[in-house]
Each structure stands twice: as structure tokens, then as C-alpha cells.
Structure 1
Amino acid sequence: MPLPFLTADGVFDAHEDEALPHADPARWRRPYRPGPWRVAGAAILLLVSAFMLLATVIIAFAGTTGGAAVAAVASLAVVGSALRLLRTGVWVSPSGLRRVGFLTTRSIAWSEIDGVHKVQQPVRWLGLPRTVQGQALTLAGRGGAELPVLLTDHNADFLARGEAFDRAAGQVEAWAEEYRAVPA
């Protein structure tokens, strides 16, 4: 259902097919939206942090500032975890590809990548140790270098969303084709 009052000045129409509403091509961008499992996990963490902040206020009014400080730091750590969970995924830019994990981030220049391919292989289900047969988007490094698996159809972004996985894999492959040929 179109909402004409949102498009009166054309701001939303101009950026309809872009991942982010800015025109700077040098910025890192995620070529897909975070999946419902990832968003639900972050929402639960934010709900827990709200209760922790409420507990912080109660502890502060009880008069123990040391306990309130510990509770505040713990609740801020939970908020930071929720934000980091939403940020994880694959990001692309003209300079390369970035795989953002919960604790680590790895950037790879397009010149180090020989190819990006979708393959059938055992993949981890929601990042847990259990593996199932699925599709994965993998990198082939120059000189046979071992590079990480980028996306799977059973991770928190694409579980039960096969079409979204195919679109995201296609967009990452298109970025790779476009920028691998360009000399850095």
C-alpha cells in the first residue's frame, strides 16, 4: 500500500533500491537487510537491558552506589551486545569486502579475492555447532588462500528465507565481479 504523504517530496523514492539512503559509494554497506532471527535476538537483549536499567535505578535509590555502578555497566554491556549483533554480517564497498562477526571483523581487498561462489555444503544452523546441508557463499582467495564462509542460508539472516539468500548472494557476487576487475 503506497503512502503518498511519505513520498510528497520524493525523498523516499530516490533511494528506494539502495541499501542505505546516501549517495556516497565509498561507504561500507550491507547488501541485504538483517533477518528476523537477528532482529528478534537483539530485541530480546534490549528488553533484558531495560529491566537491568530499572534494577540499576532501584539499586541507586536503595543507596548502594557501587552496586548501581556495576548494574549500569552490565546493562550497557548488554545494549552494546545487541547493537553488535545487529551489525554482524557481510559489508561491501569499492575497496573490498568486510565480514563482521560478533567479536571479530575481517576486511579483504577485492584484489585478494579470486572469486565468489555459491556452493552446497554442510553449514552451521544459526551459528550453533549443529550442521545441516545447505548453501553457502564462499570466497576463493588468490593463491589458494583460506578465506571464511560469508553467508549461509541457515544463519540468523536467512533461515527460512531462501529467496533473500539468493538475492544477497547475487548482490555480493555482482559487487565482486564489478570491483575485482578494477585495478586498486
Structure 2
Amino acid sequence: MPLPFLTADRAFDATDDDVALPFDDQDHDQWRRPYRPGPWRVGAAALILLLASFVLLAAMVIAFAGALPGAGVCIGIGSLMICAALRLLRIGAWVSRHGLRRVAFFSTTTLSWGQVKALRTVQQPVRWLGLPRTVQGQALVLVREGDEPLPLLTDHNADFLSRVEAFDRAADTVEAWGAEYGAAS
């Protein structure tokens, strides 16, 4: 079963390094994540899905025992766990011809390319795996007119921890989309 939120660009698998934009199929209207989800993110989602399977199995046992309200509660909890795992896999930066989208767990920020003043990679304190602890690292920040910079990607988040080359490729790809569709640098 294809999972479109897990698909990453195939340009990095190719040997041609001259491709600035990852998709040459002229179908830039769809929202795409220009990098693969990292092992920490996929592992956390897999663990949540594993726990959800146990909760749903418990719901089945409870339903066969005759306590339907308890089974309904377990089904609801299992469904919430599945939704949380899927949302966890969607977290990240998404690009299209229309703009840039930053997906967080509880919110989504969408900006047109005209609203993006600059995209640049900077050295700054970044959160380690999204936790309150900060470490010195790199971040791809989005600068908007009259607003503070918004970090899109960091080299210490769940997608790029211990994968510096992948962070560099993803940052370069997002910057290339911005340069192509109107974000000033």
C-alpha cells in the first residue's frame, strides 16, 4: 500500500547532481516533503502503532467478555494512537509551487512564496529531538516580513539526528524551491 506521506524525492537516488528541483515532472502543485523521514521519527511511529495494536487486541478481548463500553473506550484510545502515529510521520517541511508548509504535531503553518523573505541555514541553539534541551547546531530558518525567524529544519530533530549530509541536502532542496518560486535570499 503506497503511503504518500512517506515518499521522498527520488532525485537523491539518482547520480545526476545538476537537478536543482527534485521533481522534473512539472507537477509542482502537490505538497511534497523534499526529504525522507528520519529513523527516529519512523521508529517512534512504529512503536506507537505497535502499542495501538495491543490496545485494539485488548478491545477485542473486552468485547468478547461482554463489556462493550470498555471495548469502545479501548477502540477510541487505539484510534487516537493510530492518528498520532500518522501525524508524527507528517511532521516536517513541505513544499509546492504555491508555497511552503511547516507541519507540527498540533499545528500547520502555510505561507505562499511571496510571504517568504528569505530561507537560510544558520548556526544557532536548536532543540534536541524536539525536547526542551538545546544544543548548538544548524537550522534552516524561514524569515518572514516583520516577524522573527521560524526554524523549518534542524540537524538535531527526529529526521536528521546523526545525518548531517541528509540535513544539508534537504536544506539545499528547500532553498532551491524558494529560489525557483520567489523567496528572496
Counterpart in the other structure of 2:129: 126
- 1:21-170 aligned within 5 A: 24-142=27-145, 144-170=146-172
Structure 1 residue ranges, 4+ long, deviating more than 6 angstroms after superposition: none
The yes-or-no answer on 1:17 pairing with 2:26 is: no
Distance in 1, Cα, partners of 2:133 & 2:81: 26
Counterpart in the other structure of 2:6: none
Distance in 2, Cα, partners of 1:16 & 1:162: 19
TM-fit CA distance, 1:145: 1.8
TM-fit CA distance, 1:146: 2.3
Higher-helix-fraction structure = 1
The yes-or-no answer on 1:173 pairing with 2:167 is: no
Q: TM-score, normalised by structure 2?
A: 0.85
* Identity in percent: 57
Instruction: Go from structure 1 to structure 2 and tell me whether the alpha carbon gap of 1:16 and 1:104 turns closer, same or farther (over 3 Å shift).
Output: closer
Distance in 1, Cα, partners of 2:168 & 2:178: 15
- SS in structure 2 at match of 1:48: helix
Q: TM-score, normalised by structure 1?
A: 0.86
TM-fit CA distance, 1:140: 1.5
Amino acid paired to 1:170: D
TM-fit CA distance, 1:139: 1.2
Larger-Rg structure: 1
Amino acid paired to 1:145: D
RMSD after superposition = 2.0
**Structure 1: tracts of 5 or more residues without a match:** 1-14
Instruction: Go from structure 1 to structure 2 and tell me whether the alpha carbon gap of 1:154 and 1:16 turns closer, same or farther (over 3 Å shift).
Output: closer
TM-fit CA distance, 1:16: 4.1
Q: Cα deviations across residues 88-139 of structure 1 (Å, max 9, x unaligned)?
A: 1000001100000001000011101111000000000000000000000001
Distance in 1, Cα, partners of 2:109 & 2:29: 18
TM-fit CA distance, 1:24: 2.6
